[in-house]
Amino acid sequence: MKTYLIIGGTSGIGLEATKILSQNNRVIVLSRDKRNIEGLSNVEFHSADVTKSIDEFPQIADAIDGLVYCPGTINLKPLKSLKIDDFQNDIEVNLFGAVKVINKYFPNLKSTERASIVLFSTVAVQTGMPYHASIASAKGAVEGLVRSLAAEFSPNIRVNCIAPSITNTPLAEKLLNNEVKLKASEDRHPLKRIGEAKEIAETVAFLLSDSASFLTGQVIKVDGGISSIKPL
């Protein structure tokens, strides 16, 4: 049985990853609250806020085979409406939080023979989209972090990233809260639908698994084809 650490494992993609991985592994979840995971077997919860000091994160004594950092933001505005505080908040949650968590639990990752880290970007980094300036900037920094750490931590710790398109999660609820918005989002994708949290979580599980043992420094696009093909 492996041990996985999921930051933000109580909602959306993180919750689905917790459900999948806890079926046959021990999962340690760090999140602000314990919602949605009560009763799940093999799950251990610790309260944590990624915007706080690293000293406030719980100590974990055991080796960690995989770390998944799920906290994110969706802040879509035209540039003229964005304030520096918007950029700072997106960077704080998406980049600095990941850096703090990896620094905190690097000894746990290093103490196992082969470990894996999975972070999250967005399709909007490599495919320019209007109103994404703040979040695309923060996630672009995450992609740079992934490649840098993959080089630095090799060969014992793999580091990869998932870049989803819009996914049916509580974080995206405001963008999908009526039929018109949902249909517009679906129609932008060649597959004519949006992603589901479980689909992204299954990619997380793959990247943590031995089946992905030759993958590191990669940004995996799980985006319904929106970044690479144009439908008829």
Tokens of 94: 């998406």
Rounded CA-CA distance 89/118 in Å is 21
> Would 162 be classed as within a structural domain?
yes
What is the count of structural domains for the chain?
A: 1
Q: What is the CATH number of the domain that holds 106?
A: 3.40.50.720
- The single residue listed with the structure tokens 């933000």 is 8
State if pTM tops 0.75. yes
> Would 81 be classed as within a structural domain?
yes
> Would 86 be classed as within a structural domain?
yes
> Would 229 be classed as within a structural domain?
no
**Structural domain range at position 86:** 3-222
> Would 227 be classed as within a structural domain?
no
Query: Which of these ranges, 25-39, 68-82, 157-171, 174-188, has the smallest mean pLDDT?
Result: 174-188
Tokens of 228: 């690479």
State the DSSP code for 94.
I
DSSP string, 63-84: --SEEEE---------GGG--H
> Would 84 be classed as within a structural domain?
yes
For residue 19, pLDDT beyond 90:
yes
pLDDT for the residue 80: 96
> Would 105 be classed as within a structural domain?
yes
Percent of the chain with pLDDT over 70: 100
Share the mean pLDDT of the chain: 95
> Would 28 be classed as within a structural domain?
yes
